Structure 1
């Protein structure tokens, strides 16, 4: 076992130098690297006290990243929960505007041509993590009724 593997603080600092990690994610990485569970807990406490690891900062970074990637609130909430971050109120993001931009980037400014195209666009936006209400607003709720007659 190398000296770094026996020192979870040094390994954690090396990992944190590359990018932000949530506490649980960082702890899991340290445990997989062969560090002792008790030492990992102490190291994580020390890193948090020193300000090197902060779940709130990690949540902000993840939020910015997911929004830049074109993901919606459901995907963001799922990613935060997976990282072990307490999910609070949604950040101040206009999800409707975000969904419109994602849809416009993928499909252009044209409205859905038919029911099949509407469904394809709706599946795309749902897969990105947008809510059903937001998807209906972006694609035009009135168009849904038009397609029912087809």
Structure 2
């Protein structure tokens, strides 16, 4: 006897039990499984009303997962891609900016650990940090071997 198809609500709850999702991201994932007559927006409204889906929790979770490895530009881009906009995004940007230099120094220290010996090695290290989304100010501080107590 074949198993009955899983409802959209069950899929949504399974996804949300694994980790936080933004409304946009969850809608995108559920759209693949929606059949004619399914109202994804109504389901998302229901999940938000019951506090099972929260943009604020999603943003905090993403920042917590990514901040140890990535810079502000990359984290903000991912937040925007997943539907976080407006005042909430500006507030999150301000919070991230406070410790970007310290995070950049820590990423640099874990990856390289010592100052570059020549220009080629310096450029390699700077490119690595730029690709991680760190600002040029934070990269310059990391490359100088700044004492983290100053920040």
Gaps of 5+ in 2: 146-151
Matched with 1:58 is 58
Matched with 1:137 is 141
* 1:25 paired to 2:29: no
Q: CA deviation at 1:35?
A: 4.0
Equivalent residue pairs, number: 137
> 1:27·1:44 contact (CA, 8 Å) conserved in 2?
yes
Matched with 2:100 is 95
Matched with 1:118 is 122
Q: For 1:40-82, what per-residue CA distance to the aligned partner results, in whole angstroms no more than 9, with x for missing partners?
A: 00000000010000011000000000013x1110110011011
> 1:31·1:37 contact (CA, 8 Å) conserved in 2?
no
Q: CA deviation at 1:34?
A: 2.4
TM-score, length basis structure 1: 0.83
Matches of 1:36 and 1:19, distance apart in 2: 27
Q: CA deviation at 1:136?
A: 1.4
Matches of 1:96 and 1:56, distance apart in 2: 24
Matches of 2:37 and 2:49, distance apart in 1: 18
Q: CA deviation at 1:17?
A: 1.2
Moved more, 86-95 or 113-122: 86-95
Q: CA deviation at 1:27?
A: 0.5
Which SS does the other structure have where 1:88 is aligned? Answer: helix
